[in-house]
Amino acid sequence: MKKLKIAKRAREPLAAKVAPVVTPLPLNIPQLIDHTLLRPDATKADIERLCREARQFRFYSVCVNPTWVSLARRLLGRSVVKVCCVTGFPLGAHLPETKAAEARAAIRQGAKEIDVVINIGALKSGDDALVLRDIRSVVEACRDGSAKCKVILETSLLTNEEKGRACKLAVKARADFVKTSTGFSPGGATVEDVALMSRIVRDRKLGVKASGGIRTLADLRRMVQAGATRIGTSSGIKILQEAAGESVGSEVTTH
């Protein structure tokens, strides 16, 4: 009996060192997603379908070009889905005043979030003062209209040093988010870029929007794990279908 007790006590410290199994909290996937349609050939029927889908699946927002903001707002009515509008899109080479005017017009028509492309050429030229003025002009328009401002860096065209500098300028301009990409350049969001951006802005309470090339549930999870707090994608329904399939599979396995 004594030997058994001694053996049991000897095992107890080892058992105490075993780490508990932690089950990750489930993601509220619809509320991560800006349901996006920015193609230049998008029609009224396409926007109507986008808004129907957003209402049905309760996505956070629809993200559209300026010409569709008023229609999207009417179609969404009193639903919880917000309207997000791009400005200075997709090149970012507009004058700051032009971007600000575009943002103000979109907000008047019902946009609650503005995704603005920075002046990429100015950033790469080292003209941080112009980039700051560029971002700040739109941030001020958003503040005046009670809207949020997301700053699109177009990361595939930047070095890591330039990405870091752009993030710091967005923080200085008091933007609400930094965003990876327009989806119209050679590359989209990467885990490495999202992680870099998150490290710079998270302590200043800015969000990170990953956008460009996110087409699967696995893509979304990787971006969130890297630090993304919003996802821009046109594949939101497909991602939800994948998530639903996983849930069903899990239920079958446990029974």
Catalytic residue IDs: 115, 179, 209
Residues 6+ apart with CB under 8 A from 219: 213
Residue 40, preceding bond cis, omega within 30 degrees?
no
CB 163 within 8 A of CB 196: yes
Residue-wise burial string across 119-140, b where 16 or more C-beta atoms lie within 10 A, e elsewhere: bbebbeeeeeebbbbbbbbbbb
Say what the alpha-carbon torsion angle 115, 40, 191, 51 is, to the nearest 10 degrees: 70
Phi, psi torsion values for 215, nearest 5 degrees: -125, -10
- The region that residue 183 occupies, defined by phi over 0 for left and psi between -120 and 50 for alpha, beta otherwise, is left
User: Which secondary-structure segment (H or E) carries 47?
Assistant: helix 44-57
Question: What letter does residue 30 receive in the DSSP assignment?
Answer: G
Question: What letter does residue 224 receive in the DSSP assignment?
Answer: H
- Nearest to residue 210, comparing CAs of 189, 241, 191? 189
Please calculate the CA angle 130-133-138 and round it to the nearest 5 degrees: 135
